[in-house]
């Protein structure tokens, strides 16, 4: 298949989610360009709009006086980011909160964050199973201080804590223990905090945040590099291609993608470096990146997903489609995502010799989008729940309408 298309990628939900939380802690209206319309971001935006306090000075939103003194339920459905980020936000804002979610969300870990918050004098109880949602949170102002956090299961625990720290009178000294998984996401958080005038830095396993309030500033949210990975996959499967990813490029972004710069906040820009080994080259044209085929040699490859777990489904599908031998490491936390992504991809890739392809999305947006391009090589495919892509890339099926998906 020859591909020629111009693609406007969705805005980064990771940046969008952090921007909304920073604005909430700062007590200012968001002034953001290109806010994500993903299900995850909409969940955080909706939850924040329902909360009675809108800034660190505990100023009451007059539109929400009717709920004062009552326990309020915040249901974040299957949004793991919202669960982690809102736990800290609720813990340091006065109120009686019940934070809950879907059955799958109730299986995803919360204990490291809860333990760290309790060490900072937060009042949080498990309502059902120890270590998991639902949580009852009795919110109150927190002073901050020194605390230890295990990052092994998720970097979102650390991001959640540090984003609140500028409103703590004592700031925060956070010592990170365990495996430093998904560290680029924590560095993204710190970079965005500094953009909004916070004073925060990480030196190895220690993060220090001073009690310096956020300031409102415009912020342009970048296109999503994880979403771009599915177009790299389609480029790898094409015979020839010219796929223009609009707004993703410029020389600085090109250098970042090639591992020689730091312009991009998103660690998943490494997809460009990885996919170059599978025959996909990138070329900067103005503010766009253009994907084209380049020569490559087939030989065993190695990819470590400990810092880039969301790229695993894409790389697994691409290597399977190209019959490439590849060794994957850093898969431990993939069992804790929307699905057990290792098991899900093994199950679905075992179907490639079947016709027609009948894929199960495993209620996981990244599984569905990674599997879809395989229809370019193996023929028409169906999905049980194609709507799961709304979690991060609502227009995916529209943008990829040329794929034989039924």
Tell me: the pLDDT tens digits for 115-161? 999 999 999 999 999 999 999 999 999 999 999 999 999 999 999 99
Query: CA torsion sign, 241 to 247 to 252 to 256?
Result: negative
Helix orientation angle between 156-164 and 183-195, rounded to the nearest 10 degrees: 20
Q: Which two tokens stand for residue 181?
A: 């998984």
pLDDT at 253 over 60: no
CATH hierarchy code of domain 2-9+222-399: 3.65.10.10
Question: Based on the number of CB atoms within 10 Å of its own CB, is 228 exposed (0-12), middle (13-18) or buried (19 or more)?
Answer: buried
pLDDT at 62 over 50: no
The per-residue pLDDT for 142 is 98
- Euclidean distance between CA atoms 315 and 307, whole angstroms: 14
Question: Based on the number of CB atoms within 10 Å of its own CB, is 276 exposed (0-12), middle (13-18) or buried (19 or more)?
Answer: middle
150-203 pLDDT per residue, tens = 999 999 999 999 999 999 999 999 999 999 989 999 999 999 999 999 999 999
| Sequence-distant (≥ 6) Cβ neighbours of residue 167 within 8 angstroms | 25, 56, 92, 211, 213
pTM, 2 dp: 0.92
Question: Fold identical between 2-9+222-399 and 13-220?
Answer: yes
- Euclidean distance between CA atoms 219 and 40, whole angstroms: 19
Cα–Cα distance list, 90 to 99, 156, 191, 203, 312 (Å) = 9, 16, 23, 28, 32
pLDDT at 211 over 50: yes
Residue 304 — φ and ψ, nearest 5°? -105, 115
233 and 370 Cβ atoms separated by less than 8 Å: yes
Length of the chain in residues, anyone?
406
378 and 357 Cβ atoms separated by less than 8 Å: yes
Cα–Cα distance list, 221 to 168, 239, 282, 358, 360 (Å) = 27, 33, 21, 36, 32
Q: How confident is the model at residue 61 (pLDDT cuts 50, 70, 90)?
A: very low
371 and 348 Cβ atoms separated by less than 8 Å: yes
Q: How confident is the model at residue 63 (pLDDT cuts 50, 70, 90)?
A: very low
Tell me which residue of 217, 156, 272 sits closest to 263, measured CA to CA.
272
User: Which of 53-57, 162-166, 233-237 is least confident?
Assistant: 53-57
- Euclidean distance between CA atoms 45 and 24, whole angstroms: 10
Three-point CA angle 151, 156, 158, nearest 5°: 55
DSSP character at residue 288: E
- Euclidean distance between CA atoms 84 and 88, whole angstroms: 7
Tell me which residue of 107, 108, 98, 160 sits closest to 134, measured CA to CA.
98
- Euclidean distance between CA atoms 226 and 341, whole angstroms: 15
- Strands in 288-293's sheet, in edge-to-edge order, are 2-7, 240-245, 288-293, 280-285
Q: How confident is the model at residue 51 (pLDDT cuts 50, 70, 90)?
A: confident
In this structure, the strands spanning 71-75 and 95-100 are parallel
The per-residue pLDDT for 30 is 85
- Euclidean distance between CA atoms 404 and 396, whole angstroms: 14
Q: Where are the domains of the chain?
A: 2-9+222-399, 13-220
Helix orientation angle between 80-91 and 13-26, rounded to the nearest 10 degrees: 10
CATH hierarchy code of domain 13-220: 3.65.10.10
Which active-site residues does the annotation give?
310
| Sequence-distant (≥ 6) Cβ neighbours of residue 353 within 8 angstroms | none
- Euclidean distance between CA atoms 347 and 349, whole angstroms: 6
The per-residue pLDDT for 52 is 57
128 and 155 Cβ atoms separated by less than 8 Å: no
């Amino acid at each position: 298949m020859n591909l020629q298309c111009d693609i406007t990628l969705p805005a980064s939900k990771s940046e969008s989610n952090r921007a909304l939380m920073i604005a909430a802690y700062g007590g200012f209206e968001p002034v953001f360009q290109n806010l994500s319309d993903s299900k995850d971001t909409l969940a955080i935006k909706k939850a924040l709009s329902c909360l009675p306090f809108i800034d660190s000075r505990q100023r009451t939103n007059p539109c929400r006086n009717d709920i004062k003194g009552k326990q309020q339920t915040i249901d974040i459905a299957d949004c793991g980011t919202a669960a982690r980020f809102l736990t800290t936000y609720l813990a340091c804002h006065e109120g009686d909160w019940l934070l809950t979610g879907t059955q799958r969300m109730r299986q995803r870990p919360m204990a490291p964050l809860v333990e760290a918050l309790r060490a900072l004098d937060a009042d949080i109880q498990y309502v059902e199973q120890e270590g998991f949602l639902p949580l009852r949170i009795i919110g109150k102002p927190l002073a901050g201080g020194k605390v230890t956090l295990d990052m092994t299961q998720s970097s979102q625990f650390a991001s959640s804590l540090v984003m609140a720290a500028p409103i703590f009178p004592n700031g925060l000294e956070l010592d990170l223990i365990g495996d430093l998984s998904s560290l680029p996401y924590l560095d993204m958080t710190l970079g965005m905090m500094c953009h909004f005038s916070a004073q925060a830095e990480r030196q190895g396993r220690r993060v220090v945040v001073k009690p310096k309030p956020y300031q409102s500033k415009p912020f342009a949210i970048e296109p999503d590099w994880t979403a771009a990975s599915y177009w790299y996959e389609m480029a790898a499967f094409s015979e020839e291609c010219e796929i223009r990813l609009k707004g993703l490029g410029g020389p600085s972004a090109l250098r970042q993608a090639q591992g020689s710069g730091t312009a991009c906040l998103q660690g998943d820009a490494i997809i460009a470096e990885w996919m170059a080994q599978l025959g996909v080259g990138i070329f900067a044209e103005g503010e766009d990146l253009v994907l084209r085929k380049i020569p490559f040699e087939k030989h065993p490859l190695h990819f470590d997903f400990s810092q880039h777990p969301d790229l695993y489904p894409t790389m697994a599908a691409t290597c399977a489609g190209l019959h490439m031998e590849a060794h994957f490491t850093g898969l431990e936390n993939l069992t804790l995502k929307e699905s057990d992504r290792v098991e899900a991809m093994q199950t679905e890739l075992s179907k490639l010799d079947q016709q027609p392809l009948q894929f199960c999305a495993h209620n996981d947006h990244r599984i569905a989008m990674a599997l879809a391009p395989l229809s370019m090589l193996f023929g028409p495919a169906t999905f049980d729940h194609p709507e799961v892509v709304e979690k991060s890339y609502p227009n995916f099926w529209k943008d990829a309408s040329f794929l034989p998906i039924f």
